[in-house]
Structure formats: C-alpha cells, structure tokens
Amino acid sequence: MIIRNRYFLLADIVLLILAALLSFAIRLDTFLLGQRYLSICLAYALAVVFVKIPLFALFRLYSRHWGYTSVNEMLLIIGAASVSAGAMWGLVFGVARPLGLLNVFPRSVIVIDWLLTLVTVSGTRLAARILHGKLPGGSAKALALRRPSASLKRVLIMGAGDAGAMIARELRANPGLGITPIGFLDDNPSKHGMYIHGLPVLGSRHEIPALVKEEAVDEVIIAMPTAPGKAMRDIKHICQEAGVSFKTIPGIYELVSGMVSVSQIRPVQIEDLLRREPVQMDVAAVSAYLRGATVLVTGAGGSIGGELCRQVARYEPRCLVLLGHGENSLYHMERELRLSFPHLTLDSVLADIRNQERIGRIVERFRPDVIFHAAAHKHVPAMERNACEAVTNNILGTQCLIHAAEQHGVGRFVLISTDKAVNPVSIMGASKRVAELLVQEAAQRNGGVFVAVRFGNVLGSRGSVVPLFREQIARGGPVTVTDPEMRRYFMTIPEAVQLVIQAAALGQGGEIFVLDMGEPVRILDLARGLIELSGLQAGQDIEITFIGRRPGEKLCEELFVADEEYDTTVHEKIFVARNNHPVDGPALYAAVAELERLAREMDRDGIVAKLQEIVPEFRPEG
C-alpha cells in the first residue's frame, strides 16, 4: 500500500505547528506562555508553515516513495530541516527584529524547533518505511540521471515494487557489474514522479519506446514476479517494437525466499509469457500435515517429483524420502536438496515401484505419514508402442504403492494424475484413469485421505514440447507442430506442484482434485513465441512444419469425465470431481489382475480391450 504524499503534507503542517509551539514551551519551561510570548509564539508557528512547507517541496519531500526510505532520504530531510531553520533565523533576526516586531524572541527557540522538526518529519517517513518492510539503500537524483561512461549498460527497471527496488539497490551498490539503472517504469499512476532509491519513476510501460531513444537505454529489466502472462507478453512486444533487449527475474513460483537479486536476472522465457496470477497458499493448512512429518516422494528424480521435494522441504518435514528408478537423476536431486536444505533429514532410495516386496519394505522402514506418488510413464506415443509398460508402471506400480501404504498405516496418499485421463484416447491416459480408480477405491475402503490431483501439461518438463522446440530452434529448424489447431493446458512446474500440495491439504478421501489451468494454449502460438524469444522470426529464420497428429493425441484435452460431478473448493484454483457411483473394488482388482497377465504376455490388443472394459469412455484411435 502506498501512503500518498498529500498525507505527509497534511501531517507536516500539523506537526510543524506543534513543534513551533512546543519549542517555546520547552524554552520557557511552561505551557502557560502568558500575554508577552503568546502572540509571538502564534506568529512564529504561522510563519513556520509558510516558510518550511515550500522549502520542503523544493527538496522534493512530497514526490518520493517513502516506503523505500534510505540513508540518503534521511540526509535529505536533515538538509531540508536545516535550510528551513536557517530561513526562519533569517526571517526572525534579519527581518522582524530590525523592524522592531520580535524584540523578545528567544534565540534558542529556533534551535529547539530545528531538532523537533527533524524528529517529526523523519519520524513519519521512517514509520512509512517500517510499515512497508523495506531494506535501506539508495542514492540521490543527481547520480541517477548523470550520464555514465559509454562502457556501462543503461537499463530501465519495469516494476517499481519490492522486486524492482531490490534490483535497483543492488545495481547501485555494485558498480562493478557494469550496469546503471536510469529509472523505473510502473503501470500504477500513483507512483509516477516518485523517487525510489534516488531513481525516478518515469511512467508506464508505454513510455519504453520514447525513453529508449531519449535516454539511450540498452536493456529493460522486467522486475514483476507476480505479473500475469498477458502483461509479460505485452511488455515483450513493446520492447521488441522499440528495438531494445529485455530480461526478467523469476516468477513468484520460482523464488524460494521471496528475495530478489541481480544474479537472478535472466532472459525472458516462454514460462514467463504464460504465467498466471500467483497462487495464494493456505500455509497453515499445508504446514499442519507436512511440518514434522515423514514424507515419501516417488519419481523424485523427475520434473514434478523433484519440484515436490523442493517445496515439501521448505515446510520442515521430519524426514524426506526420495524414491526413484533413475540413479543419476536421483543423485542430482539428493545433492541439490542437501546443498539447499543442509539441516533436512534426507534419504534417497533406488527402487522400482512395480516391485511389491521392495516397496513394502521401504514403506515399512520409513513409515511415511504422506506419500506423493509422481512416478509414471507419461509419454503418449511411447506408451502407444509399449502398452505393457503403461500397465505395469502406471497401474500395477500404483497398486503396489497403495497396498504398502494401507499395510503400514500411511495417512495421506496423493496420486499425481493428468488431464489425459479424462475421456482418454491414449493408452497412457487410460492407464492413469485406472490409477485414479484404484486411489478412489482405496479411499472408500480404508477411509484414509487417498486423493488424486489432475492437471495438464507442465512447461519445461523433460521430454515435453518446449525443450523439443528449443532444440529444434538451436539446430536452425524446422520446428515441428502436429496440428495448427492443437491446444493444450499448460502450467509451470512450480505452480502445478504448489497447487498439488495445497489440494492434498483439502482432501478428505476419494476426491479427484482438478487444477484450474486457465485457457488452453495453441501449440502453434507456443512455437512462434519460442522462436521470437530466440531473436528470430517464424517463417523467415525458422520454418514451422505440420506433421499431423500422432496416435493417442487429442486436439484439445478435457478436465472432467462425463459421470463426474465437480464443484469448487475453498481454494479458487482447485476444483473437486467426485464419482456418481462407488468403485466396485472386487471387479476393479480382478480386471487389474487380468491386465497384469496380458502385460506379461505383451498382448497389446488384449490390454486395449481390457482398458476399455475398465474405462468405458476410453476410445482408442486406429
């Protein structure tokens, strides 16, 4: 919240009058001034307002963002108070005394008034800074606008908030970086004309083209970690039109501590252009089930599983167990967590979730309170060719884990599912739908908090479309798109995981939570955006070719199965889907046992037929 400068003006008028009156009271050691001094005191108090307020305005005390008060701003207040005290001395002893108007005026009153002015004026500004929670730092306007040497990069900071202020402070404090900020831009009109750490807020994003020319700007730093994708896309477009390079800082999901530093400035990525409003976490509800708990994460070396480990670790669990099948990815994740969370009790276990005996012993050994099950085969075309792997890993692996969790009293079990499980046309999607049914059946049978969380594609996960497009662009193209009208729901990995953790706190047992993924994005638009972010033009520098849909792919994914009822939850970005009919446990387990037999025999046609029996909405293509 910005405390507007007009409030500081009103406060100064009142406090300056009080300071003047109190100066006489202190000097005369009484609040009863008597007839001799009362008229002099009132005249002096009135003169103070008409002399000091204009001088304060001249020192720009009413055109600053006092939430970022620094040592330099305090020095400015001392200067303004001293000059105004000198002006009052000159008025009293240089004008009024020679005219015979203030013959009994005590000299020490002006000194006392100067001290009280310092206390009152700086006190209100300091209070604003404390309320705003900012760190000190800054510089004067003259230094901000002075032309630097040609070797320094001149930058504009887009975003005059917390992140922008931190970036500005660090850049000013480290001239060796070779970057000099010349000012801020912000879309909030109330900030325009203010100074933050001595740098002016020069206008909104629409001022970028003019400022690039007038101030020889080399780069724009977008310091807006909570800005939605639409704003990021607009700023990117303006910068491109102005012919200026641009960089950004991580989005709010990527910032672990909430603190921003220059080292985090990086090129704008496609994730920034598609980001959405930040998730408001119910920290108390999440902490209630994670802090002090033993948490086991399967697929811990993968994109989703790894991010689950990072975010869970921040809630100080008693023990975090990483379970994975790839030794290299598991090693790197364990090493990262030990560096980031040195006091965390951490164990990593190399295991295949399909090994019932091994999984049972692991769960028995660690006795986890919470299991996040992220291990799965997820690539649609690969699972079309390897149906038996989809069955054994996605279905039988989930069954093994559920059995071990029930046997050893795990209270909370969270399956990571996918929108491809809704009215599936792929074997992968159908296998994940069966995994959802297994979780729901377990919940209705054991009464535990066994839930599934369903969401769409995550940007930048291994093997996903974004890394593929980047690789194709690096090779000079072409970028291959399956269909010009293909759309997908996208989330960033940190956002998806944050919502998974939140959804798990909402679970009572048997729910399938569906994350609000916004509007689906055309894959063609995604490809064009990545090409532009590489500094190239689609159709000129990099060709886009259409290769046709692959087996198991829809033009657009769906979110809910036909017989599911869905409703909102207390969290605006999480929906809940419930089956209208209870899951027939014996029939489901008999069908899964048959799938296990068919997988051993590598009978793809038999697997497809059995999946259609379990998941009637499964409509395989071809």
Q: Which residues are catalytic?
A: 420
Q: Given the structure tokens 């291990």, which residue do they identify?
A: 375
496 near 515, Cβ under 8 Å? yes
Side-chain-facing half-sphere of 55: CA atoms under 13 Å: 20
313 near 291, Cβ under 8 Å? no
Strand order in the sheet with 219-222: 179-185, 153-158, 219-222, 245-248, 266-267
Q: Comparing C-alpha atoms, which of 59, 106, 111 is closest to residue 86?
A: 111
Query: Backbone dihedral region of 576: left (phi > 0), alpha (psi from -120 to 50 degrees) or beta?
Result: beta
479 near 540, Cβ under 8 Å? no
49 near 66, Cβ under 8 Å? no
Q: Comparing C-alpha atoms, which of 498, 600, 589 is closest to residue 256?
A: 498
Strands (E) across 9-159 are located at 153-158
347 near 334, Cβ under 8 Å? no
469 near 490, Cβ under 8 Å? no
In angstroms, rounded to a whole number, what is the distance separating the alpha carbons of residues 614 and 437?
9
480 near 536, Cβ under 8 Å? no
In angstroms, rounded to a whole number, what is the distance separating the alpha carbons of residues 76 and 83?
11
3 near 128, Cβ under 8 Å? yes
Strands (E) across 489-587 are located at 490-492, 512-515, 521-522, 544-546, 564-568, 574-579
- DSSP 8-state secondary structure symbol assigned to residue 325: S
How far CA 337 is from CA of 344, 347, 487, 560, in Å, comes to: 8, 11, 35, 36
Under 8 Å CB-to-CB from 589, ≥6 apart: which residues?
A: none
Under 8 Å CB-to-CB from 403, ≥6 apart: which residues?
A: 356, 360
190 near 2, Cβ under 8 Å? yes
Q: Given the structure tokens 């798109």, which residue do they identify?
A: 481
Under 8 Å CB-to-CB from 31, ≥6 apart: which residues?
A: 25
Give the DSSP letter string of 561-605.
Answer: -TTEEEEE-SSTTEEEEEESS---HHHHHHHHHHHHHHHHTT-HH
In angstroms, rounded to a whole number, what is the distance separating the alpha carbons of residues 361 and 184?
58
In angstroms, rounded to a whole number, what is the distance separating the alpha carbons of residues 68 and 76?
14
Under 8 Å CB-to-CB from 616, ≥6 apart: which residues?
A: none
In Å, the largest CA–CA distance within the chain is 115
Q: Can you give the length of the chain in residues?
A: 622
